[in-house]
Amino acid sequence: MSTRMIIRRLGGGLLVLWLVSVLTFLLVYLIPGDPAEVIAGENATVADVQRIRTELGLDRPVLEQYFTWLSGVVRGDLGHSLFSDKSVVTSISEAAPATLVIAILAIVVAVLIGVTAGTVAGLTQGSRLDRAVSTLATLGIAMPSFWLAMVLVSFFSLTNNWLPATGYVEMGEGFGTWLSHVILPSTALGLATAAELARHTRGCVADVLTRPYVRTARARGASGAWLVRRHILRNAAIPVVTVLGLQAGRMLGGVIVIEAVFGISGLGTLAINSVFQRNYPVIQAYVLLSAVVVVLINLVVDLAYGWINPKVRTA
């Protein structure tokens, strides 16, 4: 991928982040009435309302508030929680590891299962195996992740007591203990994406098999794993990478539900609690962080295009 393309993608990402920052900042002003009174609650005193108004900077001009907040964000200062002595950065850094681990493992599960199953189904199109993969992929897409999570907990934890039903522990507690706590939530989050990847991979592989360059490669004696890796998977990869990028962004929403089912205190739980508490500094930080993650995912997808298809590098 050319340097010009990377700069163009970064510029577009920065523009998106700026627009998100404006909308995120305006969250406070979308509340009907006085935001400080809404945040303080019905039984708050005048002093409480004034304190919150001062903490949020609502007594200053809107543009001044925005640029003050934005300058803090650029410096890494996202403010303080309204309901604890912790800074927003501290709250997010404490909650992020669990969410990050679950999301990464979910992507690994999705890629291993989805791409493998889709490739096999595409190579054996029309067979019983192909029909089975297609049926399971359709069911996987239709099943809500929270329902699948409850099924996994019921079977692996409540019925057979093989894995813990709730909670999260650090890897320092032992690899086996750590893995036993993350395998169910990661699987529940990743299977829907695996089903989507399997369906798209199957279609892309089946389409590539009809291309003239594959027939030519076969005529020259190419076969087996080399043919699949060199000619089929590489040319079928771009649509699959696109789907994976979209699904990875959607996992930001799905992880909230998964953490609630498994009782994990991650970013999803932090976001839900902040919404119920109307803890707007934390909500603003979560929305902004989600936007940063989505922009980074899109950038990685664009870079992957250039690696997979050299023609894209000069686009």
The pLDDT assigned to 267 comes to: 87
From the first residue on, what is the mean pLDDT of each consecutive set of 10 residues in the chain (315 residues)? 72 85 78 67 77 76 82 84 81 87 89 88 84 88 85 88 85 85 89 88 81 70 65 73 81 83 86 81 86 84 70 54
Tokens of 213: 């360059």
Is 128 inside a domain boundary? yes
Question: Which tens digits make up the pLDDT trace of 7-21?
Answer: 777 888 888 888 888
CATH at residue 271: 1.10.3720.10
The one-letter amino acid at 29: Y
The pLDDT assigned to 313 comes to: 54
The pLDDT assigned to 213 comes to: 67
Is 59 inside a domain boundary? no
Is 308 inside a domain boundary? no
The pLDDT assigned to 300 comes to: 81
Is 283 inside a domain boundary? no
State the residue range of the domain holding 179: 95-278
The pLDDT assigned to 308 comes to: 67
The pLDDT assigned to 85 comes to: 75
Is 57 inside a domain boundary? no
Polymer length of the chain = 315
The packing angle between helices 280-308 and 88-123, to 10°, is: 40
Is 140 inside a domain boundary? yes
The pLDDT assigned to 35 comes to: 66
The pLDDT assigned to 80 comes to: 81
pTM for this structure? Answer: 0.81
Using the structure block, give the residue that is written with the tokens 């067979």.
127
Biggest distance spanned by C-alpha atoms of the chain: 84
3-state secondary structure the chain: CCHHHHHHHHHHHHHHHHHHHHHHHCCHHHCCCCHHHHHHCCCCCHHHHHHHHHHHCCCCCHHHHHHHHHHHHHCCCCCECCCCCCEHHHHHHHHHHHHHHHHHHHHHHHHHHHHHHHHHHHHCCCCHHHHHHHHHHHHHHHCCHHHHHHHHHHHHHHHCCCCCCCCCCCHHHCHHHHHHHHHHHHHHHHHHHHHHHHHHHHHHHHHHCCCHHHHHHHHCCCCHHHHHHHHHHHHHHHHHHHHHHHHHHHHHHHHHHHHHHHCCCCHHHHHHHHHHHCCHHHHHHHHHHHHHHHHHHHHHHHHHHHHHCHHHHHC
Is 90 inside a domain boundary? no
Q: Distance between CA 20 and CA 254 in Å, rounded?
A: 20
The pLDDT assigned to 226 comes to: 63
Number of domains in the chain: 1
Is 26 inside a domain boundary? no
